[in-house]
């Protein structure tokens, strides 16, 4: 543990930030000073623990460890009570102390666990062991890491940071037909990437939802397809192509509720006849061309300039 602290400054920082109450075990077991040594043995054995605090009337009066127990058997004290074998000068920690104090105590004393006391009423409220300390730090690291990840994505404003008269980014995703286990993966990856580029969440949502519908169409009806996003500073253009059977009557396919989906697709909750209507609903502009026996080409646009975006949506209605 000492090395862990020395090598990692973030961990070190956390040991000051975390309180002992954040890491301590609140579901601890206690015995009373009147508990017999033989019952103590059973408790230690059954619960597989190395020591328990001794509590009388809610007050901590001692701590008894497996070492105390072993010593007592040597001295033939099996029929006596815990009181005669426990350590009475208990080293305790307050719940509001920083976790680093527990780590210092582990180094300073040779105990494996310390009772944790509430500063206000001096009552026992937990136990802290080395394992609890490590778990507490790991848990905190995990949340710190998640927050950091989120913050980093939000902080990136690619189009503000890169200086050029024109910027264009192309992101390509390949979609496998008939594989519903992977359906939605391209759209989900696209969503993450668009978020990382710092694009407005409202636009990202519309792009990924309409792309998801298109992706489901590729999976449902074709062998394979391609999704490409062309991102400029003022708009996102999505191009979705496949080499599937093509759409015979696009007008019909655009009618909400009309669907050609086979039974197995419907069973998965798709094929409601809302795919193309949804794509149109969530995009600012949509063009679709299809040749039966060759494939379908779908193009959608999403405008990024805040004002024109709203206007275009309004005009469409």
Instruction: Let me know: does 212 contact 220? Beta carbons within 8 Å.
Output: no
For another protein, the closer of residues 65 and 210 by Cβ is: 210
Q: Which residue is listed with tokens 């998801």?
A: 212
89-111 residues labelled b (16+ CB within 10 A) or e (exposed): ebebbbbebbbbbbbebbeeeeb
The least CB distance from residue 278 to another protein, in Å, is 5
For another protein, the closer of residues 148 and 234 by Cβ is: 148
For another protein, the closer of residues 19 and 191 by Cβ is: 191
The least CB distance from residue 214 to another protein, in Å, is 12
Burial zone of 118 (CB within 10 Å; 0-12 exposed, 13-18 middle, 19+ buried): middle
For another protein, the closer of residues 93 and 240 by Cβ is: 240
The least CB distance from residue 105 to another protein, in Å, is 33
CA 60 – CA 298 distance, rounded (Å): 73
Q: Give me the residues that bind another protein (CB under 8 A), please.
A: 180-181, 183-185, 187-188, 191, 205, 208-209, 212-213, 216, 268-270, 272-275, 277-278, 281
For another protein, the closer of residues 122 and 146 by Cβ is: 146
The least CB distance from residue 31 to another protein, in Å, is 34
Within the chain, residue ranges assigned H as helices are 2-7, 9-17, 20-23, 37-47, 66-74, 99-108, 130-155, 158-161, 185-196, 201-221, 250-253, 263-267, 275-282, 306-316
The least CB distance from residue 185 to another protein, in Å, is 8
């Amino acid at each position: 543990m000492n090395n862990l602290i020395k090598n990692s400054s973030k961990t070190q920082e956390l040991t000051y930030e975390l309180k002992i109450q954040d890491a301590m075990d609140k579901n601890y077991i206690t015995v009373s000073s009147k508990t017999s040594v033989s019952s103590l043995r059973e408790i230690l054995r059954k619960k597989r623990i190395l020591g328990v605090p001794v509590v009388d009337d809610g007050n901590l009066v001692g701590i008894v460890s497996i070492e105390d127990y072993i010593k007592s058997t040597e001295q033939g004290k099996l029929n006596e009570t815990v009181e005669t074998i426990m350590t009475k000068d208990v080293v305790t920690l307050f719940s509001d102390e920083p976790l680093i104090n527990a780590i210092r105590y582990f180094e300073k004393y040779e105990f494996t666990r310390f009772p944790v006391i509430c500063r206000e009423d001096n009552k026992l409220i937990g136990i802290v062991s080395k394992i609890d300390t490590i778990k507490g730090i790991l848990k905190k690291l995990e949340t710190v890491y998640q927050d950091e990840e989120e913050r980093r994505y939000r902080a990136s404003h690619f189009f503000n940071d890169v200086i050029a008269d024109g910027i264009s980014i192309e992101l390509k995703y390949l979609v496998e037909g008939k594989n519903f286990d992977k359906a939605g993966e391209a759209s989900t990856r696209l969503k993450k990437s668009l978020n990382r580029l710092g694009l407005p969440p409202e636009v990202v949502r519309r792009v990924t939802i309409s792309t998801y519908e298109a992706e489901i169409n590729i999976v449902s009806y074709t062998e394979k397809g391609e999704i490409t996003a062309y991102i400029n500073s003022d708009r996102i253009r999505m191009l979705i192509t496949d080499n599937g059977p093509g759409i015979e009557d696009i007008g019909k396919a655009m009618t909400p509720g009309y669907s050609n989906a086979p039974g197995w697709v419907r069973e998965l909750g798709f094929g409601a006849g809302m795919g193309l209507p949804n794509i149109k609903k969530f995009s600012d502009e949509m063009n679709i061309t299809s040749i039966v026996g060759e494939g379908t080409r779908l193009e959608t646009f999403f405008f990024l300039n805040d004002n024109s975006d709203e206007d275009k949506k309004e005009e469409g209605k």
